[in-house]
Chain A
Amino acid sequence: MVEKGNTKFFVRKNLPKAFKAALLAVITYLPMYFLSTLASPIKPFFPWYEPLTNIFTVVFIFFLVAGVFSSGTVFQYVFGVVRMLVLMVFLIYVLNGGIITLTVEGTSIMLDITVVLAMLVLVCLLGIAKNVVQAIDFVSGKAETEEL
Chain B
Amino acid sequence: MAKREERRMRYAVRALGWATIIFWIFIILFSATAVYSAMNVRMGFGEPQMVLSNEFMVISIPLFINNTGLYDLSELNITANAMDHNGSLTLTSTTLVPLIPRGSNVEITHNLSVSLEEIESWLRTYLFNDTIFNVNMSMKLNFAHVVPFQASTNTTIPWGAPFYNFSTGQISYEYHNLTHQRVIIPLSFENHSPYFGVDGMMHVEMCNASGKVIASGTLNLDVPPAYSKYEDQVELIVDVLKLTPSGEMHFYFETSVFSFGPVVMPYG
Contact = CB atoms under 8 A, between A and B. Distances in A.
Interface residues of A, number: 25
Given A108-B152, A108-B153, A109-B151, A120 B27 contact: yes
B12 interface: yes
Interface residues of B, number: 27
A140 B8 CA distance: 13
Contacts of B241: none
A38 B89 CA distance: 44
Interface stretch (A4-12, A13-21, A49-57, A127-135): A127-135
A110 interface: yes
Interface string A100-114: 000000111111110
Contacts of B42: none
A97 to B, nearest CB: 14
Contact of A126 (B10, B20, B30, B150): B20
B71 to A, nearest CB: 13
Interface stretch (B104-112, B117-125, B141-149): B141-149
Given A126-B23, A133-B12, A134-B13, A115 B147 contact: yes
B23 A122 contact: yes
B45 interface: no
B174 interface: no
B16 interface: yes
A124 B108 CA distance: 43
A137 B24 CA distance: 25
Contact of B23 (A106, A110, A123): A123
Interface of A: 106-113, 115-116, 119-120, 122-123, 126-127, 129-130, 133-134, 136-137, 140-141, 144
Q: Would you list the 4 A-B pairs with minimal beta carbon distance, nearest first?
A: A130-B16, A137-B9, A112-B148, A110-B150
